[in-house]
Amino acid sequence: MFLLPFHVIGVSHAANSAERVGRLRLSAERTDALLASLRARESSAVLLSTCHRTELYWWGEEELGEWFVTEVIGDTGDAARGSGGPNVRIDRVDADLAVRHLFSVASGMQSARYGEPEILGQVRRAWTAACEAGTACGPIDALFRQSIDAARHIRGAMGSDGDPTLGDRVAERILMQCRTRTASANGDPLTPLRVLVVGSGDAARSTLEALRERSAGGGAALPPMHIDVTSRTDERAAATAERFDVTALPWTERDTAMVAADVVIFAVHVTSPLVLPAFEAAVVTREQPALWIDLGVPGAVSTDFQASQVEVVPLKAIAGAEAPLLQVERTRRASSALQHELDRYARATHRLQLGARLGALEERAVAAAIAHGDASAEGVARRVTRLVLRELTRA
């Protein structure tokens, strides 16, 4: 591309534990205070803080690396920049690599769950907050606008979460559970299977669609079920429940629902386990065994969770053999789209810089025309056109 005075410094899940990165996540109030500090310095910067990363993006010759370490990392421990220190690893990239980093972060290519959609909204909100604070003016504003547009194109090329048959495989696993449940009933009538879906994203929708199709007689039919869905955002749970004609539960009631459910499907994105070993005491009262299917990456159920009444089935036991190949293809498409968007940004930026230099080019053309004894309007126009075309061919 070309050298730009654009920089990124930060802490992410790629080089630090989820617990460490989570501790560094900035509250809205803390973000506002830090942006006010940047405004006082007349810095052109954006602060992005999520459960997976806390990063400072800035434009200009000013050095803000030490400011980030002092003001953002603060007293969380010694920071080891560029090395695997005992506490926090801080990474930094500059110029065209910083632009690549921003585009790949906004599109979800740098997320713990590849391609997750939430990050694009988080980048947009971080940029909006900086605009409102007065720290995202000029080139950095244009760059973030371009990154959001680029992320949409990259996500379009990337496609949705790989395996389109995941919901069917979840349904098959539930059917196996139903057969076991029927055999253990010794002919006694069974109550409807209670199913709880935790999450409202792509995996949850794929699962609910498969369960709805099986309940309607498609494929190997499932027995009568009562399905509840819960999500960290109650509004999204309600919308998902309405779409699939199931029941929405408040997020605050999830623990009680998990204990009562015969099948729990974890289709929620978390940075640390949602179910810890301490929850074993809550399910010890169950009379019938329960099936928990964990589709999370990383898992929503702690690997240390052990309860005789619960069978935990991880994603790797559900995903098909073709899932890794689908992910490779998805990554290839995203990488190709990312390079296309970077090239597009480079061309646009070069033309913008050229436009700012048109006045100087015109002066050079006039001087050249006079030097060659051709100061007519036509002569100047020819030389301006020649210079502009020469510059444009470099874009």
Residue positions forming the annotated binding site for NADP(+):
199-204
Q: What residues pair up with 90 in beta bridges, in sequence order?
A: 81
Q: Coil, helix or strand for 197?
A: strand
Strand 6-12: give its sheet, edge to edge: 44-49, 53-59, 6-12, 88-94, 79-81
3-state secondary structure of 46: strand
CA distance 330 to 332: 5
Query: In which residue are the tokens 């169950």 written?
Result: 286
CB 173 within 8 A of CB 313: yes
- E strands, the chain, are 6-12, 44-49, 53-59, 79-81, 88-94, 193-198, 225-230, 247-249, 263-266, 290-294, 310-314
Residues 6+ apart with CB under 8 A from 263: 174, 177, 193, 194, 195, 196, 290, 291, 292, 293
Instruction: Check whether the bond before 298 is cis (ω within 30° of 0).
Output: yes
Among the listed residues 51, 131, 137, 178, the single catalytic one is 51
Which one-letter DSSP state was computed for residue 330?
Answer: H
DSSP conformational letter for 192? P
SS3 assignment, position 365: helix
d(CA 118, CA 201): 10
DSSP H helices, 134-293, are: 139-158, 166-185, 202-215, 234-244, 254-260, 280-283
**Phi-psi map region of 23: left, alpha, beta (phi>0 left; psi -120 to 50 alpha):** alpha
Q: How far apart are CA 174 and CA 337, in angstroms?
A: 38
In the residue annotation, 51 being an active-site residue is answered as yes
Binding residues: 50-53, 111, 116-118, 122, 199-204
Binding-site residues for substrate, in ranges, read 50-53, 111, 116-118, 122
Q: Which residues are catalytic?
A: 51
